[in-house]
Amino acid sequence: MPRRVVVIGGGIIGLSTAYYALQKGFDVTVLDRDSADSYGCSWGNSGLLVPSHFVPLAAPGMVQLGLKMLPNRQGPFGFSFSLDVLRWMMIFARHCNPRHVERSQQLLVELCLASVSLYENLASDLGVSATIHKRGLAMICRDSSTLAHELAMVPRAAKLGLNAVEIQQKDLQKLGESLEIVAKGGVMYNSDSDLTPGVIVQALRDQLGDRIKSSCEVKSVIVENGKVSAVKTSKEEFVADEFVLAAGSWSGELANDFGLKMPMVAGKGYSLTLPNPPSSITTPMILVEGRVAITPMTGGTRFGGTMELTRPDLSINQNRLAGIKKSVESFLPQFKEAAFQGVEPWVGLRPCSPDGLPYIGRAPNLSNLTVATGHAMMGMTLGPITGHLVTQLLCEEPPNLSLELLKPNRFC
Ligand SMILES: Cc1cc2nc3c(=O)[nH]c(=O)nc-3n(C[C@H](O)[C@H](O)[C@H](O)COP(=O)(O)OP(=O)(O)OC[C@H]3O[C@@H](n4cnc5c(N)ncnc54)[C@H](O)[C@@H]3O)c2cc1C
């Protein structure tokens, strides 16, 4: 009889895990609280596959940068005060040092590159290869000091095996067709690629079919003799041999039910997708000072940004949305605020660990629970490799990459 796996959470991490586990012959069930037409954080994100993001969120200067941005209510960073957020910030601050960056960056690049390569096979197997574009990512800067900082990353990227080159100011216009850009220059990461998140997520959902149980919220867990024996949901009880916790920003709260301490906050962000943009952007870009990502994709050009640290809540802060539009217009004068009129904002919660690294590994206290969450700004990128690594753990095979830095209990 095949071994039964219950995956809690049907975002990109849970779906990728279910996909690879199914290939290995497991009897898979995915439980998701949302309805069949709602997809957590994995739907409206910017769809960038980013080996370029090899510096973890917890890095030198991030606390100072956050404090500088905080007073601006339309700025790209904010937080809602709670004890959880405060505790998280204290651990975050401890990790903002060069040693943490040094020991994390190689692993992040390896995870990203392995995932991008898995995406190619995955998209081909699912019949959606056309959604993946290998056109790089341009980091665009308005200020000389930011540009100098970005340019200093080029040799560091090269050392890690990534292809990054300077973009001269005169070449910025080539990032679109008759596109006006007000900026000093930038850096092009040729190793990055992009996709339309909804296309890949829907293809995975179609593949998994009725193995996905929607509107099915895990409410409590039953633990017996050091193992999870079942989870109780809003619908019924699910018994399995193995359980995977992949509930995105809600995983921290659920981890408590499993007796696991895993600090986590939600990094709230928004996206706006313009079906008919006033000018054509042909290369994905990040407007560095505004922290806005722009991705041309199926259905329009998507503008994503802001990071508000909070407990999981999906309310929309109009100030932040206004800030995204303002930033876009300051870099791209053709994209006036009016261009966004009538566009429905999307809100998503990035599952953020306090050291900027995901939690991937076996739970120390329960022999049949595996954790896969905390991917923050890189969850779309790292979906396939996470699913692949978790499946290796379920099969009791040694993982392709060391999971030492990603242990779920590393803050206990
Ligand atoms: C504006 C924005 C732009 C982004 N851009 C990028 C990008 O360009 N590249 C990139 O790599 N990443 C990007 N990200 C990050 C990425 O979207 C996330 O890291 C990723 O989607 C997280 O996936 P997940 O599967 O862990 O969580 P989710 O997609 O949130 O899925 C978790 C699921 O678990 C379900 N769940 C929660 N609790 C329960 C429960 N008790 N019972 C059952 N189900 C439950 C939820 O309903 C949800 O569907 C972006 C995020 C934002 C907000």
Assess contact for 355 and 362: CB atoms under 8 A.
no
**CB of 218 closer than 6 A to ligand 1?**
yes
Q: Residue 234 — very low, low, confident or very high, per pLDDT cuts 50/70/90?
A: very high
Helices 12-23 + 379-394 axis angle, to 10: 40
Residue to substitute in 189, 350, 378, 381 for testing ligand 1 pocket (most ligand atoms within 8 angstroms of CB): 350
Q: Does 257 contact ligand 1 (Cβ within 6 A)?
A: no
Ligand 1 proximity of 27 Cβ (cutoff 6 Å):
no
pLDDT value of residue 39 = 73
Q: For ligand 1, say whether the CB of 247 is within 6 Å of any of its atoms.
A: yes
DSSP SS3 for 28: strand
Q: Pick the residue with more confidence: 36 or 292?
A: 292
Q: Is 230 helix (H, G, I), strand (E, B) or coil?
A: strand
> What residues form DSSP beta bridges with 369?
243
291 CB less than 6 Å from ligand 1? Answer: no
Question: Which residue in this structure is represented by tokens 């939600």?
Answer: 266
Q: Is the CB of 197 under 6 A from ligand 1?
A: no
pLDDT at 37: 77
pLDDT digits (tens, 9 = 90+) for 49-97: 999 999 999 999 999 988 888 889 999 999 888 999 999 999 999 999 9
Taking Cα atoms as reference points, which of 161, 227, 158 lies closest to residue 187? 158
- Which of 14-23, 29-38, 245-254 shows the lowest per-residue confidence on average (mean pLDDT)? 29-38
Residue 348 CA to ligand 1 centre (angstroms) = 7
Q: For the chain, which residues make up each domain, given as ranges?
A: 55-81+131-193+264-352
Distance, CA of 394 to chain centre: 23
Q: If you measure from the C-alpha of residue 18 to the centroid of ligand 1, how many angstroms do you get, rounded to a whole number?
A: 15
Six-digit token string for 188:
């092009």
At 38, the pLDDT band (50, 70, 90 cuts) reads confident
At 372, the pLDDT band (50, 70, 90 cuts) reads very high
**pLDDT band with cut points at 50, 70 and 90 for residue 330:** very high
Asked whether the beta carbons of 63 and 93 are under 8 A apart, the reply is yes
Q: What is the mean pLDDT of residues 150-157?
A: 98
Q: In which band, very low, low, confident or very high, does the pLDDT at 309 lie, cut at 50, 70 and 90?
A: very high
pLDDT for residue 256 is more than 90:
yes
The predicted pLDDT at position 69 comes to 87
Region 375-395: mean pLDDT is: 98
User: Of 45, 131, 235, which is best to mutate to test ligand 1, by the most ligand atoms within 8 angstroms of its C-beta?
Assistant: 45
Q: Among 249, 252, 244, which Cα is nearest to 372's?
A: 244
Confirm whether pTM is higher than 0.75.
yes
Give the amino acid at 379: G
Mean pLDDT value across residues 164-170: 98
Look at residue 297 in the predicted model and tell me its pLDDT: 98
Cα atoms in the Cβ-side hemisphere of radius 13 Å centred on 236: 5
Q: Is 306 in the pocket of ligand 1 (CB under 6 A)?
A: no
Kindly tell me if the per-residue pLDDT of 299 is higher than 80.
yes
47 lines ligand 1 (CB under 6 A): yes
Residue 325, judged by CB atoms within 10 A of its CB (0-12, 13-18, 19+), counts as buried
Is the distance from CB of 295 to CB of 136 less than 8 angstroms? no
Taking residues 339-347, report their average pLDDT: 96
Lowest mean pLDDT among 21-35, 66-80, 104-118, 231-245: 66-80
Report angle CA 294, 35, 377 to the nearest 5 degrees: 30
Fold of the domain built from segment(s) 55-81+131-193+264-352:
D-Amino Acid Oxidase; Chain A, domain 2 (3.30.9)
How many angstroms separate the CA atoms of 129 and 123, rounded? Answer: 5
pLDDT of residue 1: 86
